[in-house]
Amino acid sequence: MPDRYAVIGHPIAHSKSPLIHGLFAQATGQDMVYEAIDGGAGPGGFGRALAAFCAAGGRGMNVTLPFKLEALAAADEASQDARLAGAANALRFEGGRVLAQNFDGIGLVRDIEHNLGLPLAGKRVLLLGAGGATRGALLPLARAGAARIVIANRTATKAEALARELAPHMGACSVAGGGPEAAGAGQAFDLVLNATSASLGGEAPAVPAAAFAPGALAYDMVYGKGLTPFLQLAQAAGCARIADGVGMLVEQAAEAFAWWRGVRPDTREVLQRLTVPLV
């Protein structure tokens, strides 16, 4: 009988995870099935779905909105990345125990360095937003050797608090936070990451043209939306290198697959299938 895996979220019909993991399983010869589970909008839905899936012999789960916080809370053991991000996006079930990981930031770094060809060592990074996506990205960016990370958020105190909280874990990478003005202040960045939800609402985050250093990469974590307002803003500022988050989606999925199955799939075919032209 094939091993069972799933993605859980609400809503979930739009998820690309069943396609991605189905292609990974086919390419690596893994005997597994992968489904999408809607955890529902009401309280307790995630816990009931998790218990039922485990009882039916499920081996692992990807977790998407709005259940990443609940997934971490349900874990018996969690990685440092998951704990410091305050959220889990992958679960593994072993001997009645629930293990939690957060591969979002790891997938982001893999996409930037491997697929987009931008080594992060010594780079200056601007992160727009101070929510869960930023929390998940900070440690992997620091581990990749980023020299400095600035968090710019509409609520300056939230960005400042996040920078103070994670600074002790950032190694040699300096981190600072502030309001929208933190994106300017005479600084230019090699990588500008939009980790806000602005693009989903057809809006552009506040970032001045001067924030993009010559040759900078502008990266929107939203995927499948084409040329988002943020990427349009970056182009207007003279930024020639732009990307959306489809690579992050695929690479974090590959990390989860490897964690579950012990083999990391090649991501090139899946990236080709899912990439939407940025026009």
In terms of phi and psi (left: phi > 0; alpha: psi -120 to 50; beta: otherwise), the region of 260 is alpha
Rg (CA), the chain: 19
Euclidean distance between CA atoms 88 and 77, whole angstroms: 11
3 state SS of 257? helix
Output DSSP code: residue 265. Answer: P
Euclidean distance between CA atoms 279 and 277, whole angstroms: 6
Euclidean distance between CA atoms 180 and 184, whole angstroms: 8
The question of whether 68 is a catalytic residue gets the answer yes
Catalytic option among 68, 123, 158, 225: 68
Q: What are phi and psi for residue 92, nearest 5 degrees?
A: -130, 140
In terms of phi and psi (left: phi > 0; alpha: psi -120 to 50; beta: otherwise), the region of 129 is left
- Please give the structure tokens belonging to residue 40: 């529902």
Catalytically active residues are 68
